[in-house]
Amino acid sequence: METKLSWFQTKQFRLLLFVLILAVGMLVRLVGLGAMPEGVEQDEAMAAYQAYTTLTEGIDLHGYHNPVYFEAWGNGMNALEIYLMIPMIQLFGFTDFAIRLPQAIIACFSIPVFYLLLKRIFDQKTAFLGMFLLAINPWHIMMSRWALESNLAPAFLLFGLYFFVLALEKHPAYYLLSAFFYGLSLYTYAILWVVVPLALLLQILYALITKRARITWYTSGFVVICGLMALPLMLLVVVNMHYIPEIKTALFSIPELGSWRSRDLYLGNLTNLQSFVRLFTMLTTQSEGNIRASFSQFGFYYLFSLPLMLLGLVRVVRDCLSLWKRRVHALETYVLIQLFAALVAALLLNGINANRINALHIPLILLCAVGVREICNLNWKLAGQTLVALYCVCFLAFTGFYFGEGQSQLSGYYRPGTKEAIAYAQELTDDTIVCRMHGRYSIVLYYTKMPLDRYFSTLKIQEDNPPEPASIDQFVFEDNEATTIGSDVYIVEDDHLAPYVAAGCTIQLFGRMAVAYLPDSVSGE
Per-residue model confidence as pLDDT tens digits over 495-504: 889 999 999 9
Higher pLDDT, residue 360 or 288: 360
Q: Does residue 235 belong to any structural domain of this protein?
A: yes
Q: How confident is the model at residue 107 (pLDDT cuts 50, 70, 90)?
A: very high
Confidence of residue 6 (pLDDT cuts 50, 70, 90): low
Distance CA 391, CA 302 (A): 8
Please report the pLDDT score of residue 263 as a whole number.
66
Residue 7 has pLDDT above 60, yes or no: no
pLDDT, average across residues 149-164: 95
Higher pLDDT, residue 52 or 481 = 52
Cα 133 from Cα 127, distance rounded (Å): 10
63 vs 525, residue with greater confidence: 63
pLDDT at 522 over 80: no
**What's the pLDDT score for residue 338?**
94
Q: 10 Å Cβ neighbour count for 63?
A: 14
Q: Are residues 27 and 101 in the same domain?
A: yes
420 shares a domain with 404: no
Average pLDDT of the chain, as a whole number: 89
What integer is the mean pLDDT of 73-99? Answer: 92
CA angle 268, 274, 278 (to 5 degrees): 115
Three-class DSSP labels, 240-291: HCCCCCCEECCCCEECCCCCCHHHHECHHHHHCHHHHHHHHHHHHHCCCCCC
2 pLDDT more than 60: no
| Calpha distance 109→107 (Å, rounded) | 5
Domain end call among 408, 438, 453:
408
Please indicate, yes or no, if residue 1 is contained in any of the structural domains.
no
How many domains would you assign to the chain? Answer: 2
Alpha carbons 374 and 369: distance in angstroms, whole number: 9
- Per-residue pLDDT at 268 exceeds 80: no
C-alpha–C-alpha distance, residues 421 and 472, integer Å? 17
Residues 6+ apart with CB under 8 A from 244: 235, 238
**Do 420 and 320 lie in a common domain?**
no
Please state, in angstroms and as integers, the Cα–Cα distance from residue 219 to each residue in 204, 215, 331, 334, 335, following that order.
Answer: 9, 6, 17, 17, 20
State which of 35-49, 350-364, 427-441, 452-466 shows the largest mean pLDDT: 35-49
Q: What is the mean pLDDT of residues 130-140?
A: 96
The continuous run of DSSP H or E covering 492 comes out as strand 489-493
Q: How confident is the model at residue 53 (pLDDT cuts 50, 70, 90)?
A: very high
Percentage of the residues of the chain whose pLDDT score is greater than 70: 94
Both 251 and 356 in a single domain?
yes
Which of 393, 408, 423 corresponds to the end of one domain?
A: 408
pLDDT > 90 in the chain, percent:
61
Predicted TM-score (pTM) of the model is 0.92
Q: Tens digits of per-residue pLDDT, 323-358?
A: 888 877 889 999 999 999 999 988 888 778 888 889
Residue by residue, what is the 3-state secondary structure of 386-446? HHHHHHHHHHHHHHHHHCCHHHHHHHHHHCCCHHHHHHHHHHHCCCCEEEECCCHHHHHHH
Q: Are residues 431 and 372 in the same domain?
A: no
Mean pLDDT is highest, among 29-38, 69-78, 288-297, 513-522, for 29-38
pLDDT at 260: 67
- The answer to whether the peptide bond before residue 451 is cis (omega within 30 degrees of 0) is no
The answer to whether residues 513 and 376 belong to one domain is no
In a domain, residue 228? The reply is: yes
How far apart are alpha carbons 73 and 447 in whole angstroms? 18
- On whether both 403 and 433 belong to a single domain, the answer is no
Confidence of residue 5 (pLDDT cuts 50, 70, 90): very low
Determine the pLDDT at residue 242.
85
pLDDT digits (tens, 9 = 90+) for 272-307: 788 888 888 888 888 877 788 888 889 899 989 999
Whether residue 111 is contained in a domain is answered as yes
Q: Are 128 and 87 in contact (CB under 8 A)?
A: no
Give tens-digit pLDDT for 375-416: 887 766 677 788 889 999 999 999 999 999 999 988 888 899
CA separation (Å) from 383 to 163, 259, 367? 34, 53, 18
pLDDT of the residue at 310: 95
- Using an 8 Å Cβ cutoff, are 104 and 144 in contact? yes
Please indicate, yes or no, if residue 188 is contained in any of the structural domains.
yes
Highest mean pLDDT: which of 38-42, 114-118, 456-460, 493-497? 114-118
Smallest Cα–Cα separation from 157: which of 168, 146, 165?
165
pLDDT given for residue 486 in this prediction: 87
> What would the 3-class secondary structure string for 112-156 be?
HHHHHHHHHHCCHHHHHHHHHHHHCCHHHHHHHCCCCHHHHHHHH
Residue 476 has pLDDT above 80, yes or no: yes
Residues 428 and 371 in one domain: no
Alpha carbon distance 426, 474 (integer Å):
9
Classify residue 84: in a domain, yes or no: yes
pLDDT at 12: 83
| DSSP annotation string for 448-486 | HT--HHHHHHH-EEE--SS-EEEEETTEEE--TT-----
Query: For strand 475-477 and strand 433-436, is the pairing parallel, antiparallel, or unpaired?
Result: parallel
Rg (CA), the chain: 25
Rounded to 5°, angle at Cα 338 from 161 and 189: 85
Final residue in a domain of this structure, among 346, 375, 408? 408
Residues 378 and 442 in one domain: no
* pLDDT reported for residue 76: 82
Is-contact 368 250, C-beta < 8 A? no
**Residue 135 and residue 148 share a domain:** yes
Element (H, E) at 196: helix 192-209
Residues 34, 172, single domain; the answer is yes
182 vs 441, which has greater pLDDT?
Answer: 182
pLDDT attached to residue 81: 95
Between 58 and 521, the more confident residue is: 58
Same domain for 394 and 273: yes
Question: Is the pLDDT higher at 14 or at 128?
Answer: 128
Domain span at residue 204? Answer: 6-408
Asked, for residue 345, whether it belongs to a domain, the answer is yes
Report if residue 117 sits inside a domain. yes
Provide the pLDDT for residue 31. Answer: 95
